[in-house]
Amino acid sequence: GENVEQHPSTLSVQEGDSAVIKCTYSDSASNYFPWYKQELGKRPQLIIDIRSNVGEKKDQRIAVTLNKTAKHFSLHITETQPEDSAVYFCAASSQGGKLIFGQGTELSVKP
Amino acid sequence: DADVTQTPRNRITKTGKRIMLECSQTKGHDRMYWYRQDPGLGLRLIYYSFDVKDINKGEISDGYSVSRQAQAKFSLSLESAIPNQTALYFCATSDFGTSGRNSYNEQFFGPGTRLTVL
Among the partner-chain residues B42, B50, B110, the one whose CB lies closest to the CB of A104 is B42
- Give yes or no for residue A38 having a pLDDT over 60: yes
pLDDT single digits (tens) B3-21: 999 999 999 999 999 999 9
Nearest to A30 by CA among A44, A48, A46, A51: A51
**3-state secondary structure at position A82:** helix
Query: Facing residues of A110 across strands?
Result: A14
| B59·A102 Cβ contact <8 A | no
CB B27 within 8 A of CB A67: no
Residues with Cβ within 8 Å of residue A28, at least 6 apart in sequence: A71
Question: Measured between alpha carbons, how far is B16 from A54 in angstroms, rounded to an integer?
Answer: 49
Q: Is B99 exposed, middle or buried (0-12, 13-18, 19+ CB in 10 A)?
A: exposed
Nearest to B115 by CA among B43, B42, B18, B9: B9
B contacts of A104 (beta carbons < 8 Å): 40, 42-43
Question: Measured between alpha carbons, how far is B103 from A31 in angstroms, rounded to an integer?
Answer: 8
Amino acid B34: pLDDT:
98
Amino acid B58: pLDDT:
92
CB B20 within 8 A of CB B76: yes
- Give yes or no for residue A68 having a pLDDT over 80: yes
Q: Report cis status (omega within 30 of 0) of the bond before A44.
A: no
From A106-110, B12-16, B24-28, B94-98, the region with the lowest mean pLDDT: B94-98
- Give yes or no for residue B95 having a pLDDT over 90: no
pLDDT grade for B106, boundaries at 50, 70 and 90: confident
**% chain A with pLDDT above 70:** 95
Report, as an integer, the average pLDDT of B93-118.
80
pLDDT grade for A24, boundaries at 50, 70 and 90: very high
- Give yes or no for residue A84 having a pLDDT over 80: yes
To test the contact with chain B by mutation, choose from A25, A31, A101, A105 the residue with the greatest count of B C-beta atoms within 10 A, namely A101
Report, as an integer, the average pLDDT of B63-71.
95
Amino acid B21: pLDDT:
98
